[in-house]
Amino acid sequence: MPQDPLIDAALAARSMAYAPYSRFTVGTALRTTDGATYAGCNVENAAYPEGTCAEAGAIAAMVLAGGRRIAELVVAGGGSAPCAPCGGCRQKLREFAGPEMVIHIVDAAGQTLLRTSLAELLPHSFGPDNLAR
């Protein structure tokens, strides 16, 4: 059954995750406001907590390519519980997305476990628009 290309990209990223310690693999794919897609996976490190989350990898790929605004995000984890972005990643996402950004959290088969917004995950957020420029 064909999936949404953004879900497929998140699942493909998850398959490349480097998680030899926790064995908890995560993949993320984001779509920018201009339609480009970027993916990332979690990368663990023996020196905890020096690993990186999948969301951070996808954001870094987007920024490297010149992207600056996220329109939509998919997070693919394992198990039956939704794998929501950690607190640090929620703030990283807020730097490049507004509270209305839609986040789809899927399982290892690509089935949606939760559809939410950044505002629901990070209420009363502080972002770039809070700073006088």
Q: What is the CB neighbour count within 10 angstroms for residue 70?
A: 26
Instruction: List the catalytic residue out of 44, 50, 55, 95.
Output: 55
- Helix intervals (H) in 22-112: 54-64, 87-96
Active site residue 72: no
Judge residue 113's burial from the number of C-beta atoms within 10 Å of its C-beta, 0-12 exposed, 13-18 middle, 19 or more buried. Answer: middle
Secondary structure letter of residue 118 according to DSSP? H
Residues designated catalytic: 55
